[in-house]
Amino acid sequence: MAQQPHLDPAGYFLAGGPTGILLLHGFTGAPPEMRLVADYLHQRGLTVSVPLLPGHGTTVNDCNACRWTDWTHAAAGALAELRQSCDTVFIGGLSMGTLISLVLAADNRDLAGVVLYSPAVKLAERLLFLTPALKIVRPTLPKDASADQDLTDPAALQHLWSYDENPVAAGAELFKLKRQANRRLPEVTSPLLIIHSTLDQSIHRDSARIVYDRVGTPPDDKYLVTLNNSGHNLVVDSEWETVADMSYRFVLRYAQ
């Protein structure tokens, strides 16, 4: 079963001008969580692509059948399609989407810029480290009762399509993806905007700083923004419009 089943988890493409951005959703989530930011950017002339990543938007069994490379390859394909419509291209991601964004940025150094929402290079939840062993005996685990409880806007949940269980084998793949993204941080040289929140209960408090310090992006082209009234999913929470505006201003600064 899915949380918020009234939402359509399908991906979408919002055609706009010659500057485009690829937005990537989080683990067990779906494109609806990116909709507020996507619409904000599209209304200001950007072309926005928000694909549904493999194993998401269907069942936890489908998610468990995926490897981390399925997610990065799908995102790379969506990026290639976006390039066919746009002269200048950015990538943005939330949580797991930030890990994919970092891998793609390491592979595509000509990107105009990268936006990371709640970067997940270091997580607060240590259970992820156990998933390679747990997947042998448990296909799923119940979601923590406190999941999404760090959100400050009660209406934020209405924008979140997600599985109501955690797929364990997919969690093991997420762990591999996290290691890959961490390893490749020095290869990321594109302009970078990092936005995180002090209330985030999912990622470690040092996660955003780790990215900022370790990427190869020149100091004048990387920005670290700290929010104080949003949970992990800050693209739908109380400060989402601030997040969207900062994203748009970053795109304007580096669009060619």
> 142 pairs with which residues across the strands?
165
Residue 138 belongs to what domain range?
Answer: 2-254
> 92 pairs with which residues across the strands?
23, 115
Determine if the pTM surpasses 0.75.
yes
pLDDT at residue 189 in the model: 98
pLDDT at residue 149 in the model: 85
pLDDT at residue 166 in the model: 87
How many domains does the chain contain in total?
Answer: 1
Mean pLDDT per 10-residue segment, the chain (256 residues):
79 98 97 98 98 96 96 98 97 98 97 98 70 56 69 94 90 94 98 97 94 98 98 97 98 93
Torsional class of 95: left (φ above 0), alpha (ψ -120 to 50), beta (otherwise):
left
Which of 27, 26, 30, 28 has its CA nearest to residue 7? 30
* CB proximity list for 236: less than 8 A, separation 6 or greater: 33, 36, 151, 153, 156, 159, 160
CATH number of the domain that residue 230 is part of: 3.40.50.1820
- In a 13 Å sphere around the CA of 31, the CA atoms on its Cβ side amount to 20
pLDDT at residue 96 in the model: 97
pLDDT at residue 53 in the model: 98
Dihedral through CA 38, CA 243, CA 220, CA 199, nearest 10? Answer: -130
